Chains A and B, each alone.
Chain A
Amino acid sequence: MTPAPLSALFLREIRAARRIGGGGTMGVVFFLILVTIVPFAIGPDLNLLSRIGPAILWIAALLATLLGLDRLFQADHEDGSLDLMLTGDTPLELIVLVKCLAHWTVTGLPLVVAAPLFGLMLALEPEALFGVTISLLAGTPALGMLGAIGAALTVTLRRGGLLMAILVLPLAIPVLIFGVSAAGAANSATTPFMTPFLILCALSLATLAAAPFAVAAALRHMSE
């Protein structure tokens, strides 16, 4: 097994994503809309917004990540690519990992880049901006990998998006807890930053290592 198939797969994913719906821009626009509607719901009080800003950004990023994932494997299932990949020499687990990495590069990374900008609209302090951005950078891979499990389980369903959210959101609670804690702790003297941040990194690394096996098993069973 050479790395050539995996780099070819990575390029194919990035290309296909860029040509359909402009890749990550849709996710960022959705992110922006979520951030925009929150002040309408709770009022434009800047003190309140800056206090709950990290949480708003994290929930928005969580939803934006999830809602972009439902086509991750479904397109490959429908056009027959998934079957063909099974006949290749490359283990499905690695294919899954590379697909998720490509997906994160196209959709997760833009969210991380946009987060400080949207944080300014929520009157976040510079420390909090940094905290939110770095925690999203560390946490979005875990969200993507957990979402991939949901995407694989619902791969045969026509309208699997809502079900996928129901399945994945409970599993994403730990990521949310430590992500928001790390983001909020950056500008608070009382709570530690490193503890939740390191746990968040651990969650991401653990899902990167373990989730491909669950995803590959689900895809094999679902594509029979």
Chain B
Amino acid sequence: MTDRMEKAPFPETRLIASGLTLRRGDRLLVEGLDFDLANGQALIVTGPNGTGKSTLLRGLAGFLPPARGRVRGIFAGEEERGAGALAHYLGHVEGSKPALTARENLHFWQSMLALPGLGSGLSPDEALTQLGVPQVAGLPVAYLSAGQKRRVGLARLLIAPRPIWILDEPLTALDAAGQDLLNAMLRDHLAAGGLIVAATHAPLAIAARQLSLGSREVAA
């Protein structure tokens, strides 16, 4: 598996949160968070439901502007407009159009998400092969099972190289073989100098810093 990934290592990249405070509706979910991730480092976010894991990831990807503080992405020594422009975001839904085939979907995201200077990643068919679902390439995504859809979503991470991966519950819907594939993918990405922020309930088989979210208990 590792030998299939022949991409050049990523240039110096950092993902920095400083004093990051995020609000969702009326609720303050993250307050004053600081961290600094560099090449090859991963951060795993854990915590009970409703403590703001998804909110934090959406904040890091730039979908949710911080109430205070900021998120910075530094790429090859240059400050990007936000970390989102350097990142692959994988949320609860994969961003595939049901009417289009897996290959068509991946081709579209390849042209949409390619970062200049990082070359092209795998072709859609290669990426699907690597994720163990080469047979779905020509099928409309609407016909696929949840696990297959998830694998098509993960294939997106391989077709357009981006240094930061922001993954929200990446293990969802994956079987044991799929989870092994994902863990191998994550390790390859880190080995190539990539950065990972993942929110998860189930453990991921990578060396990572841990961030646990939760309400501070104050006696009533």
Indicate whether A and B are direct neighbours in the complex (CB within 8 Å): yes
Chain A residues packing against B (C-beta within 8 Å) = 4-5, 8-9, 11-12, 15-16, 19-20, 75, 78-81, 83-90, 223-224
* B side interface size, CB within 8 A: 31
Which of A11, A75, A80, A85 has the most chain B CB within a 10 Å cutoff? A80
A20 touches B108 (CB 8 A): no
**Contacts of B84 on A, CB cut-off 8 Å?**
86-87
- Bound together, the chains give a CA A87 to CA B92 distance in angstroms of 16
- Bound together, the chains give a CA A107 to CA B104 distance in angstroms of 22
A78 touches B93 (CB 8 A): yes
Closest residue on chain A to residue B88 by CB atoms: A87
Give the contact stretch, choosing among B109-117, B188-196, B199-207, B208-216: B109-117
**Interface set, chain B 35-94, CB cutoff 8 A to A:** 58, 61-65, 84-85, 87-89, 91-94
Q: Is B98 an interface residue (CB 8 A)?
A: yes
B108 touches A88 (CB 8 A): no
A89 touches B85 (CB 8 A): yes
Q: Tell which of B88, B98, B112 touches A8, judged by Cβ atoms closer than 8 Å.
A: B112
- Bound together, the chains give a CA A89 to CA B86 distance in angstroms of 9
- Bound together, the chains give a CA A11 to CA B96 distance in angstroms of 15
A5 to chain B, nearest CB (A): 5
**Contacts of A80 on B, CB cut-off 8 Å?**
91-95
Closest residue on chain A to residue B98 by CB atoms: A79
Given the interface pairs A5-B111, A224-B64, the reply to whether A81 lies near B97 with Cβ below 8 Å is yes
Given the interface pairs A223-B63, A224-B58, the reply to whether A12 lies near B93 with Cβ below 8 Å is no
Chain B residues packing against A (C-beta within 8 Å) = 58, 61-65, 84-85, 87-89, 91-100, 104, 107-109, 111-113, 115-116, 140
A16 touches B111 (CB 8 A): no
Closest residue on chain A to residue B55 by CB atoms: A224
Q: Apart from A79-B97, A80-B95, what are 13 other A-B pairs with CB-CB below 8 Å?
A: A8-B107, A8-B112, A9-B108, A9-B112, A15-B99, A15-B104, A16-B99, A19-B140, A80-B91, A80-B93, A83-B58, A87-B61, A87-B62
**Contacts of B108 on A, CB cut-off 8 Å?**
8-9, 11-12
B91 touches A83 (CB 8 A): yes
B99 touches A79 (CB 8 A): no
- Bound together, the chains give a CA A118 to CA B10 distance in angstroms of 60
A91 to chain B, nearest CB (A): 11
**Contacts of A223 on B, CB cut-off 8 Å?**
63
Given the interface pairs A15-B100, A15-B104, A19-B100, the reply to whether A86 lies near B62 with Cβ below 8 Å is yes
- Bound together, the chains give a CA A5 to CA B93 distance in angstroms of 21
B2 to chain A, nearest CB (A): 27
- Bound together, the chains give a CA A145 to CA B175 distance in angstroms of 44
- Bound together, the chains give a CA A19 to CA B99 distance in angstroms of 6
Given the interface pairs A9-B112, A224-B64, the reply to whether A83 lies near B89 with Cβ below 8 Å is yes
B112 touches A88 (CB 8 A): yes
**Contacts of B85 on A, CB cut-off 8 Å?**
87-89
**Contacts of A81 on B, CB cut-off 8 Å?**
95, 97
Which of B104, B109, B111 has the most chain A CB within a 10 Å cutoff? B111
Which of A84, A85, A86 has the most chain B CB within a 10 Å cutoff? A84
Given the interface pairs A12-B108, A15-B104, the reply to whether A83 lies near B97 with Cβ below 8 Å is no
B93 touches A90 (CB 8 A): no
Q: Which 5 A-B residue pairings sit nearest by Cβ, starting from the closest?
A: A80-B93, A80-B95, A19-B99, A8-B111, A84-B95
B206 to chain A, nearest CB (A): 22
